[in-house]
Structure 1
Amino acid sequence: MPSSRPTPEAHAGDDRTTDLIRWAAFSCVLVPVVLLWYGTSLAGTAGTAVGLAAVTAVCRLLLRRSERCAPRLLDEEHPPHAPHRGGRHRTGTGSHRGGRHNDRRSPVG
């Protein structure tokens, strides 16, 4: 019977995003306080606070959206019913693909 709990990987990603958003919100409060402490005008500090809050909100929106869309994109790329086909692995270390070659034209030293 499948469980309705999120997988540990999904939960870890959610925690990292939540922590990132918390730090961004903390910065939105800390930066204006520091600006006021160092004598910046109230209008300049308010404008900075509004700008940081807007950037934080947009980043939060984009992070949450990417978290929702990433599993769907992976499912579309690798459908569960499609068989895995191997045999297209690269061999060698790349020495014949334009890697660095030592020849007589290069200095030795």
Structure 2
Amino acid sequence: MSAPRPNPETRPGSASGPDAVTDLVRWAVFSCLLVPVVLLWCGSSLAGATGTAVGLAAVTAVCRALLRGSERGAARMRAAEGAPHRGRHQRSGSGAHRGGRRPGGHTPVV
């Protein structure tokens, strides 16, 4: 059985991709739980440890929202790069006033 090949967009060791954000949020939640336990173990008050936990949870939630918004913006930019660019006035084609060929050729009228 062979090892699964990494997705080209999410290379191992890179900080981009949907898995990186999920891993980052998981570590942040782990820290939100671990820090108050350590504070209580070191002799801090219950109110201080609770306040720290609430503050870390708020920062984690805001960072998660910002990361998800950034992912959506990057996805929109990637989608827009694939769309054809149609010029300044959003017209396609070459009309007669734009120097296109005329069906009759360039023979003088006699």
TM-score (normalizing by structure 2): 0.60
- What is the aligned length? 76
1:47 aligns with 2:51: yes
Instruction: Name the structure 1 match of 2:84.
Output: 81
Identity percentage over the alignment?
A: 64
Alignment pair present for 1:71 and 2:75? yes
CA distance, structure 2, for counterparts of residue 72 and residue 9 of structure 1: 16
Q: CA deviation at 1:82?
A: 3.2
* Aligned counterpart, 1:21: 25
Q: TM-score, normalised by structure 1?
A: 0.60
* RMSD, matched Cα: 2.4
Structure 2 unmatched runs, 5+: 1-6, 11-15, 87-110
Gaps of 5+ in 1: 1-6, 84-109
Q: For residue 9 of structure 2, what is the amino acid of its counterpart? A: E
Structure with the larger RCO, 1 or 2 (CA within 8 Å, 6+ apart): 1
Q: Which moved more, 1:19-28 or 1:62-71?
A: 62-71
Larger radius of gyration: 2
